[in-house]
Amino acid sequence: MPQPPHIRTKPLIPGPVSRRTILKAGGTLLLSVFPVLPAAAAQILAVRVWPAADYTRVTLENDSDLKVTHFTVPDPQRLVVDIEGLELNPTLKSLVAKIQSGDPYIKQVRVGQNRPNVVRLVFDLKEEIKPQVFTLAPVGSYKHRLIFDLYPVRAVDPIAAMIEKGEWSRADAPPGSPEMPAPAPAPNPPLAATPPVTAPATVPPAPAVTPPVVAPPVPHIVPPAGPVLAQPTVPAPAVPVPKTELPDPAPVRPDPPRVAAQKHDKGGKVVRMMTIALDPGHGGEDPGAIGASGTREKDIVLAIAKRLKFKLEEQPNMRVMLTRDGDYFVPLGVRVEKARKVQADLFVSIHADAFLLPTARGSSVFVLSEKGATSTAARWLANKENLADAIGGVNMQSHDKQIASVLLDLSTTAQINDSMKLGKAVLGEISGIARLHKGSVEQAGFAVLKAPDIPSILIETAFISNPEEEAKLRDNGYQDQIAAAITKGIKRYFAANPPLAKGRQT
């Protein structure tokens, strides 16, 4: 029987199905069968600690950007850091063993999984600090870095540090500098402070009674934001027992005439002290150039700078300030600012750089240029050196604008002219003991040479990228020869250009 024309039946076999419909159905099926996988936790690739008197830096290198919060806790002083998106791993646990007993600011660090995907670090501190916590994007050979910079509440003053070391007279503090602190009293008064009792020589002294060693109780520290899990066990510190014997005498070195602020020559004329700022390049997170045998520029130039410091301080009326005296990073602007704070008469930056070709060789001396580099190689080296802040890691959010302004082109023509005279004197002496890369002083826009009021030079002692020169740089004899040549060049410069009376203000 035929159906009425107004009734339509649905076909039993469906029509053609689009590919998109099938893919959507398949995706829905997979999501229903397999749960959504959580995002992979970030991985800590390396941990590094750089203790120094200026500040202590802790670096966590990782494979992704991390979100971090931190706060300080007093009595006793602690810095608590929570890092999100992180699971505890052996590399991060190794941070505990990297804290040195001589660290100026950190007693110890505790590491634990505070809660899922959150790791907590607790830094037990030796004094109150001003922390700076920031991240750095990948640069050079580094991945993402999380940086903890622990600065003292009162910044280290370079003149106060030199006074403490006996390298500066209190009467010679520059005008406008803060009052120098008095020497800190000894922690334990000497036994001879009581009135001595005269006794016959034949009477033996009474045996010393050693007091018992009592360890102070270790307080149980619970930061306010939650307990720290899996804390390493820290033994109670032992109280040192006072000793009656005298300490071993410090090694005696020649006492150069650098204590008095002013001296008189044979004719009665006043001769003032000359202050030289030596700047060993790179340091800390910034290794500088690395030779084929693994020699790091930052280590070589620090060794040469220390030799040079010793030789200069043996000269009459010369004293030296190092912009860094250990393996830690100093931003370019801070290097210049340190020299200006001590009102340095000269600024000498020491390097041992690399070039694109391993055949490049020879020593060079550079001064600042106002109009551009004198050669392509000079421009390339300057650009490379000026990346030090990016590689070493500068917290740009808190970078002192006054220090950063030093890197502007404020140098005068007179400063560059004086720098050229110094550079020629030093290059002439170096030519007597080493091959020169170029027979004249070169110029380029090195940021570290931009002190507007200090004659400044940068010395490339040799190319660490050249295997033969890398071997020379590692040799103690060559380091001593370079230091001696620079010393002679500085003496030649001062002989022809006596320093004027100090009139600058810090």
Give the best-scoring range by mean pLDDT among 161-165, 255-259, 264-268, 296-300.
Answer: 296-300
Residue, of 376 and 343, whose pLDDT is higher: 343
Q: What is the mean pLDDT of the segment spanning 75-98?
A: 94
Query: What percentage of the chain carries pLDDT values higher than 90?
Result: 51
Could you tell me if 25 and 19 are in contact, meaning their C-beta atoms sit under 8 angstroms apart? no
Confidence of residue 42 (pLDDT cuts 50, 70, 90): confident
Give the best-scoring range by mean pLDDT among 226-240, 410-424, 460-474.
Answer: 460-474
Domains and CATH numbers, the chain: 44-152 (2.60.40.3500), 158-170+260-496 (3.40.630.40)
Note the pLDDT of residue 223.
45
- Residue 16 reports pLDDT greater than 90: no
Confidence of residue 203 (pLDDT cuts 50, 70, 90): very low
Q: What is the mean pLDDT of the segment spanning 140-163?
A: 88
Note the pLDDT of residue 24.
61
Q: What is the mean pLDDT of the segment spanning 104-127?
A: 95
Confidence of residue 306 (pLDDT cuts 50, 70, 90): very high
Q: Tell me which residue has tokens 């670096």.
A: 59
- Residue 204 reports pLDDT greater than 50: no
For all residues of the chain together, what is the average pLDDT?
Answer: 78
Confidence of residue 194 (pLDDT cuts 50, 70, 90): very low
- Residue 187 reports pLDDT greater than 80: no
Rounded Cα distance between 158 and 416, Å, is 25
Rounded Cα distance between 157 and 177, Å, is 10
- Residue 262 reports pLDDT greater than 60: no
Confidence of residue 380 (pLDDT cuts 50, 70, 90): confident
DSSP 54: S
Global pTM value: 0.72
- What are the phi and psi torsion angles at 457 (to 5°)? -135, 155
Note the pLDDT of residue 383.
83
Give 111-139 as a DSSP string.
Answer: EEEEETTEEEEEEEESS-EEEEEEEE--B
Please choose, from the candidates 93, 124, 125, the residue with its C-alpha nearest in 3D space to the C-alpha of residue 111.
93
Cβ-Cβ contacts under 8 Å for 402 (sequence gap 6 or more): 337
Note the pLDDT of residue 13.
47
Please choose, from the candidates 43, 59, 84, 51, the residue with its C-alpha nearest in 3D space to the C-alpha of residue 136.
59
